């Protein structure tokens, strides 16, 4: 399969402490109507750390069922234990996911050789294509360029989500190997695609899938003048959706638009009053409301 375009890192809606599966299906439908190329259930934005194993699997299965083959489903099935990541990825395969997003192991901080063995073992054990997820700000460890180059030789490794905040890393990766790079930062999508990334795994598209689909399509077509009009319009929103830890602001923004109940699981909690007002102003300005 080809990895490109707009993929939404989908939020997980809660109601009364439980996953709201009805609302989840509504959000999937909205994403597909907005023209996304793929949906990622149970990533960081989906609050994967606080879903139990049963919920984790059911969320993926429900998203697969709701999408009904109309877009790619990239299941968030990474872990800081290789055995657990394999277990989750095999379950995602059984439930119909097309590929999986594998976050860099967090907290235990493996060496580069450990990272290579971790991702290789998952890729070779699960019969499901994987996308590497480099996000050192959350995991404490970056996937080295040489490690990405080694992993790119595995046919089961589709690409890498780059969320280290560096456009230069895209050029470094593409100079070192032939692998698909996806931006992991909405605010860097256009500059990253200008140097060779093929799309974005987005948080903002939970709110504006149509507009971001058009922005990414313009980049893929080489029309960066058009893409920049979207980038400039939504840049402040891209930034303020990270004014506190993701997914707190995006859920707050979605609640402001009556898209879901603003509910989190501890240790995440509601956005502060001051940041809520900043986000509200940015959101409604960007949407022209």
Both tokens of 166, joined, read 């560096």
What are the DSSP E strand ranges found in the chain? Answer: 5-9, 14-15, 18-19, 38-40, 72-76, 99-103, 130-134, 157-162, 180-183, 199-202
Could you tell me how many helices (H) and strands (E) the chain has, helices first?
Answer: 12, 10
Q: Is 21 a catalytic residue?
A: no
Choose, from 58, 156, 161, 251, the residue flagged as catalytic.
161
Q: List the structure tokens of 246.
A: 């993701």
289 is catalytic: no
243, β-bridge pairs: none
> Can you tell me whether residue 159 is helix, strand or coil?
strand
Other C-beta atoms closer than 10 Å to the C-beta of 22 total: 10
Helix (H) or strand (E) holding 282: helix 273-286
Find the catalytic residue in 133, 156, 230, 251. Answer: 133
3-state helix/strand/coil string of 70-103 = CCEEEEECCCCCHHHHHHHHHHHHHCCCCEEEEE
**Residues labelled as active-site residues:** 133, 161
């Amino acid at each position: 399969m080809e990895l490109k375009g707009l993929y939404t890192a989908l939020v997980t809606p809660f109601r009364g402490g439980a996953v709201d599966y009805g609302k989840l299906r509504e959000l999937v439908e909205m994403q597909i109507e907005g023209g996304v190329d793929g949906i990622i259930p149970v990533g960081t934005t989906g609050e994967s750390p606080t879903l139990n194993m049963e919920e984790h699997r059911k969320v993926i299965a429900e998203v697969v069922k709701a999408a009904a083959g109309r877009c790619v489903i990239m299941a968030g099935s990474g872990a800081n234990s290789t055995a657990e990541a394999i277990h989750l990825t095999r379950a995602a395969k059984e439930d119909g996911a097309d590929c999986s997003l594998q976050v860099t192991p967090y907290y235990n901080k493996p060496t580069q050789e450990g990272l290579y063995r971790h991702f290789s073992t998952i890729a070779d054990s699960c019969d499901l294509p994987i996308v590497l997820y480099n996000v050192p700000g959350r995991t404490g460890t970056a996937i080295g360029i040489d490690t990405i180059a080694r992993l790119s030789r595995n046919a089961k490794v589709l690409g890498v989500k780059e969320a280290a905040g560096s456009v230069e890393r895209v050029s470094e990766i593409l100079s070192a190997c032939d692998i698909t790079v996806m931006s992991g930062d909405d605010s860097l999508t256009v500059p990253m695609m200008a140097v060779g990334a093929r799309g974005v795994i987005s948080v903002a598209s939970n709110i504006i899938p149509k507009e971001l689909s058009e922005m990414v399509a313009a980049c893929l077509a080489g029309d960066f003048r058009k893409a920049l009009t979207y980038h400039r319009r939504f840049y402040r929103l891209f930034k303020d959706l990270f004014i506190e830890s993701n997914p707190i602001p995006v859920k707050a923004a979605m609640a402001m638009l009556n898209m879901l109940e603003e509910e989190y699981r501890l240790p995440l909690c509601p956005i502060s009053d001051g940041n809520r007002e900043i986000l509200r102003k940015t959101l409604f300005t960007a949407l022209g409301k």
